[in-house]
A and B are shown apart, each in its own frame.
Chain A
Amino acid sequence: MAEEKVVKVKEKKVANPEEVTIDPATKQMLKRAQELGIETVFDRAENLKPCNIGIQGTCCKNCAMGPCRLPLTKSVTEGEDDRKGLCGATPNTIAARNFARMVASGAAAHSDHGRSVAEVFLSVARKETKDYKIKDEGKLLAIAPHFGVETTVEVDGKIMDRSIDEIALEVAEKAYAEWGKPEGELYYLKRAPQPLYERWKKLGELPRNIDREIVEIMHRTHMGVDQDYKNLIKQCTRASLGDGWGGSMIATDLQDVMFGTPSPLQSEANLGIMKTDQVNIIIHGHEPILSEMIVAASQTKEMLDYAKTKGAKGIQLGGICCTGNEILQRHGVPPAGNFLQQELAIVTGACDAMVVDVQCVFQNLANVAKCFHTKLITTHRIAKMEQDNVIHIQFDEHHAMEDAKRIVRLAIDNFPNRKNVMIPKHKAVQIAGFGVESIQYHLGGTFRGSYYTLNDNIINGRIRGIAGVVGCNNARTKHNEQHIVLVKELIKNDVIVLSTGCNGITCAMEGLLSPETAQVFCGPGLAEVCETVGIPPVLHMGSCVDNSRILLAATEVVKAGGLGKDICDLPAAGAAPEWMSEKAISIGQYFVASGVYTLFGLMLPVDGAPVFQNYLFKEVEKIYGGKWDVEPDPIKMAQKMIAHIDKKRKALGIDKARERVLMDMEARRQLEA
């Protein structure tokens, strides 16, 4: 009677498009996917719940005596906490080790990206590639001194400019050595405000080189090594500083040198940027080494003409995730969407090729691509996929243009194979491309450009403070909602927002990166400043390695004066409301260690170790001036950030309305020289 036995097959749930996102284009594509029977991340989130113990951070699988699972249960909270792993590891040790490994992975991802850039730059400096060049000599000259590279040379007692080639080579070699130099400390640490650098030095937490600190985390978190959560966090700081003030910052700088330093430009965002009558190539991933070359290739007459022969009117590029931000800020190439929209870009049926490199790429893209004509092309030797419909074209900087053209041609060839096209209309105009340099320029022009203009308006209270809002999307939250609610609440309270990564794309999709939104969503003070400078209230500063730009912008604010001596004195706070990636943890740690109050949405996998959690959320503030916090509710998150900003304003003595000081001659004589 075996036949009678009814096997209960759990029916797969599908996501309700109205409930899982606030973005109309996403809703439309999600419905479309469901109609076509295509599963996406939104549906999988309905069926696969996160692990209850993993989410607490107290599952240890670092040796084969485990995995040891140490959940914080009701009985534990009520009684004495005597949870231990087989080796005796406490919940604090386990959560801290897991946390540290996330820092290691995140720092590794950013820094390996940086390494690739440094390698390409070294090829450029050695003149081994003709496809990449030095585009911004000014930026090279600006960063050279930070590597201890002279930009002038004495010839017969006269100071002369040194040749750019020579400078480039020395910078390239020194930069590349940052990953593995045997002695000393990272060059860029001294770019931080002096008291901050001194603090790290005093703590003994100056990273020695980028790789070593990551390796050391892996060692320390091996079974039976570092079993003191405080000591582990010190190492997290070293590795994360090696990311923020090391790998990421070098990546940003050398990318600017090779591809240009961003300045404000107009673009659009969201799936609506894809075109029915053009070849759509979606570039997804993180390193601009690839995307820059695709942009260049797709603009050649050869490719454009070839596209015409296939019936396309042109070639439309669109970005997803941070490689999209890279080509957005330098070329105005519009992002087609953020992290959670990657599958949906294919669901439009109009994606002729999706080209990916590293990080944040769903393996499920291959499954979705199978349902359409889309060619999914992996390009990086470290990032391949097992599915057989994925094409691998390894990208090599020595013949980059050739590779790029091959990819573009593949997309063009694929254009006639489209069927079932449905591109959402939704897109919004955005102004992006705010770098440290361009912000300075726009705060006063060639002659008076200075962060002091910003500081002055913080001091006079028009701007309450500065928030860095960054990070990913997460299918465990309503797509984009936390980002947008948080950002709107901040700007409503006159807090100016610096954005990177998928937050930048999200804000763009919602129209928050357009200057006219300032008048709609901002408090009166911020609106007035935005109107004066002509900026949106949210400044898109680039990709996730470009969080280094936020560090440097904060440093410039400190240097401009009037707001304290260190980053931790600033009326500022950071947030990653929809974080999901380990990179976010590394970013969070370097912001905390740089003095920033940093809030994460959703959760942080440390709940299972209350002592360790308390250390991160309270104790570290005494060490670094910054600390961690978690707040799933975006309104409360904004309130916490604003409360912190107000606390800092009070400490600076700028919590009251500024008086108009009328100067007489006596007062003028007292001025500092």
Chain B
Amino acid sequence: MSRLVAFAAIQGGYNIVSKVEGKYKKALETYSATTKVGFPNTAYYLPVIYSILGMKVETLEDIKKPLDFARKLLPPHVKGKHHLPYLGPLLDAGMAALFAFEIEEALRYLEQPNFYFTSEEVDVDAGKIWLGAADDTVFRKRGVEFVDGTAPGFAAIVGAAPDPETAKMIVEDYQRRNLYIFLAANQNGTTVAQQLIKAGVQIGWNTRIVPFGPDISSAIFALGFANRAAMAFGGIKAGDYKKMLHYNKDRIFAFVNALGDVNAEWAAAAAGCVNWGFPTIADTDIPEILPTGICTYEHVVANIAHKDMVQKSVEIRGLKVSVSTIDIPCSFGPAYEGERVRGPELIAEMGGGKTQCTELVKMAEMSEIEDGKVTVVGPDIDSVKPGTRLPLGIFVQVAGREFQTDFEPILERQIHHLVNYIQGVMHIGQRDIAWVRVGKGAVDKGFTLKHIGVVLHAKFHQDFKKIVDKVQVTLYTNKEDVDKLTTRARAEYRTRDERVEKMTDEAVETYYSCTLCQSFAPNHVCTVSPERTGLCGAYNWMDCKASFEINPTGPNQPIEKGECIDPVLGQWKGVNDFVFKASRGAVKQYNFYSMLKDPMTTCGCCECIAALLPSCNGIMTVNRDYTGDTPCGMKFTTLAGVMGGGASSPGFVGHSKFNITQRKFVNGDGGFLRLVWMPKILKEEIKERIMKRGAELGYPNLYDMIADETVGITEDQIRPFLEEKGHPALSLPPIIS
């Protein structure tokens, strides 16, 4: 009976708005009206209020406007059997409740600054298990996973399961399907987050299980996350609530699981979520709303058994997810990628400085190898003492009619995340500096090193079936075998690096498009050339080439670059034609090597953003992980907000970290020597390459000339430094003519 839901949710809406009005009044009595309020490190203010209403809440007094709006939105109560229609009012009441929740959480950040633990990980020992709002760094990093499809959606779970085991079962099932799990609210003081900790499940952004907060109001953080994705990647303007909510309905596959008794406040929150197209699936006997329309399918579905909860939820939301079924004793999926194996749980460790750990993928003749053969040469870990260290060599041989040696590094790079996907196993690094840790949880379930081979064999076949016909894996754990493999591997790495190094845009006729993120940013289209790697940092030209071979109708399509319109700016007719079509007419042309003239667009998930610094006659760039201020006056997240969503914004360009030291980097604007500022963390990360590229250009000490935040975060602050160091940018022709 929708009427009962409407009755309860409207009542709930009134309760929530009144409660928050009371809290706001109290806050005004305690703090001055100009006191700053907001969530940590975000350029999106209170993101739900900002995105839906276009109202910027920065100070305590700014709260009045949205709170008054929420009050006015509250509809009349549903009265008697001859009631007035209630669907619209119900959704409005829900929206009012959500605005109030966001204000309530902002007030909590003000009044209890330490209530939430601003981190990606929980600190169980310190009792800090509530992470609160994702800041923009976390949001962008995680948002990319939503954009590229590694995370197909999120489940917002409110309340608590009847017991920790049930909570674990549900959440792990979502993990297996790669969804994020956002946790909020409690059931008589019990929360799913606490239940999971009790059941030994690692929670935090790294395992995709995010404990937002213990109250229903903290569920607002999930919606704030979704709406920021719509603004950052979808290019939806703040205040354009119609587009915002439709974007969510069509592209963000989220839903609510209500575990335990549903009270009026929960009903209001659920009604609010329906505005987003996010349905509620409950384990209790609440009134259902089955007809479709606002959500893609049902709106409220009740009485779902815990064992069916995940399957039902995904179906009701209309989401297709594939579960990798790999014959290993542990769970497997991206959700386990960020899981840690810490000291006390450690059974065996390979690499990480203490022993050698090397990975190599090599092409083989079809007749040379046996598909599916996995051999462990040397001791395995099924019989070792906790804390054992072993050397490890992972040698994968691949054969296939379509396989090329160029694809070797692409497959090899998969080893990192594929091994990490195994629950209870952690993988860091790559090539000859790999590091594998295996925890007790995995070993108890029967995991052995052999299973690494099983995973690689299965996943290479699944993900690269077009180019892979046979996969054979050998795992070495004797020192001499590993050393031998390492010597061979290093020679291979060198050859590969040289080959990539030599590749130029001029040398190829075909570039590749990348529309991987069009699910989120429908107007954006990347073009990837050898010297302009994908701006998200995840795809280089070679990857795109392989991806096309693997999936000829997929997101990477070859583009005949065609007639060169401008070699300095990097513009080709073939590319323009493609971009015009693929961006659905939104972008007519762009340049590969310029940030000033028709720069390439970004969906908002670029690794770095370069910006013009006119009075330094140069440019700066800032990476996503750096949250501080920059000399262009904007933080990364503000910059990304300015230029995300597929718009070409002269003066700014998105690029990958790797691209900075590629030879064509902003060549049209004067090139690498224009770079006068970057965050220290980024500078250090690519130090070697900066020095190398600087030397190539005749400035072997360029690394020391580039300013960072320790020098200053305004143009005025860094200019004297540049002059003192004699930065070449100062003597280049004026950047703005």
Tell me the A residues contacting B by CB distance below 8 Å: 264-266, 429, 431, 441-449, 452-454, 456-457, 460, 462, 514-516, 528-529, 531-535, 660-669, 671-673
Contact = CB atoms under 8 A, between A and B. Distances in A.
B293 A534 contact: no
B1 A445 contact: no
Nearest to B53: A447
Given A445-B91, A665-B152, A671 B245 contact: no
B523 A431 contact: no
A453 B294 contact: yes
A456 B293 CA distance: 5
Most A CB contacts (10 A, CB to CB) among B52, B293, B319 go to B293
B82 A516 contact: yes
11 contacts: A266-B82, A441-B88, A443-B88, A447-B52, A532-B2, A532-B290, A534-B86, A660-B315, A662-B320, A663-B253, A664-B149
Contact of A447 (B1, B245, B253, B586): B245
Contact of A448 (B85, B294, B554): B294
Contact of A662 (B52, B84, B319, B522): B319
A531 B2 contact: yes
Closest 10 CB pairs of A and B: A453-B293, A445-B91, A665-B149, A673-B522, A662-B320, A668-B519, A534-B86, A445-B88, A442-B85, A664-B320
A454 B291 CA distance: 10
B499 to A, nearest CB: 31
Nearest to B93: A445
Given A453-B294, A529-B291, A535 B85 contact: yes
Contacts of B321: 664
Contacts of A673: 522-523, 584, 586
Contacts of A444: 87-88, 91, 293-294
A447 B275 contact: yes
Nearest to A460: B292
B95 A445 contact: yes
B292 A447 contact: no
Nearest to B516: A669
A266 B85 CA distance: 10
Interface string B285-317: 000011111100101000000000000001100
Given A528-B291, A532-B2, A662 B318 contact: yes
A531 B87 CA distance: 9
A669 B518 CA distance: 5
Nearest to B152: A665
A671 B299 CA distance: 22
Given A515-B82, A671-B519, A664 B88 contact: no
Given A444-B91, A454-B293, A660-B297, A667 B85 contact: no
A529 B293 CA distance: 10
Nearest to B146: A665
B3 A534 contact: yes
Given A531-B2, A664-B321, 19 more contacts: A266-B84, A431-B82, A445-B91, A446-B88, A452-B293, A453-B87, A457-B291, A457-B293, A515-B83, A515-B85, A531-B1, A532-B299, A533-B2, A534-B83, A660-B315, A662-B314, A666-B554, A669-B519, A671-B522
Given A446-B73, A514-B82, A673-B584, A534 B2 contact: yes
B357 interface: no
Nearest to A433: B84
B89 interface: yes
Contacts of A534: 2-3, 6, 78, 83-87
Contacts of A668: 250-251, 519
A415 B86 CA distance: 41
A30 B434 CA distance: 97
A531 B73 CA distance: 22
A448 to B, nearest CB: 5
Interface in B339-388: none
Contact of B88 (A265, A442, A457, A667): A442
A661 B318 contact: yes
A265 B84 contact: yes
A116 to B, nearest CB: 31
Contact of A449 (B86, B88, B90): B88
A289 to B, nearest CB: 28
A442 B78 CA distance: 13
Most B CB contacts (10 A, CB to CB) among A264, A457, A662 go to A662
A534 B91 CA distance: 13
Given A514-B82, A532-B2, A669-B519, A445 B87 contact: yes
Given A663-B253, A671-B250, A443 B87 contact: yes
B515 interface: yes
Interface in B61-102: 73, 78, 81-92, 95
B567 to A, nearest CB: 32
Interface in B120-152: 149, 152
A274 to B, nearest CB: 20
B84 to A, nearest CB: 5
B606 to A, nearest CB: 19
Given A667-B320, A671-B522, A264 B297 contact: no
B14 interface: no
Contacts of B245: 447-448
Interface in B470-499: none
B241 interface: yes
Most A CB contacts (10 A, CB to CB) among B1, B250, B253, B294 go to B294
Contacts of B294: 444, 448, 453
Nearest to B320: A662
Contacts of B523: 673
B242 interface: yes
Contacts of A264: 84-85
Nearest to B246: A448
Contacts of A531: 1-3
Nearest to B78: A534
B555 interface: yes
Most A CB contacts (10 A, CB to CB) among B241, B299, B518 go to B518
Interface string B43-60: 000000000100000000
Contacts of B89: 445
A531 B515 CA distance: 43
Contacts of B251: 668, 671
Contacts of B274: 448
A426 B82 CA distance: 17
Interface string B1-24: 111001000000000000000000
Nearest to A525: B291
A431 B78 CA distance: 13
B732 to A, nearest CB: 37
Contact of B275 (A266, A429, A445): A445
A665 B78 contact: no
Given A534-B83, A662-B318, A664-B152, A528 B293 contact: no
Nearest to A453: B293
A443 B293 contact: yes
A444 B321 CA distance: 29
Nearest to A531: B2
Contact of A431 (B84, B91, B275, B320): B84
B90 A445 contact: yes
Most B CB contacts (10 A, CB to CB) among A442, A534, A660, A672 go to A534
Contacts of B253: 663
B271 to A, nearest CB: 9
Given A454-B293, A516-B81, A532-B289, A446 B92 contact: yes
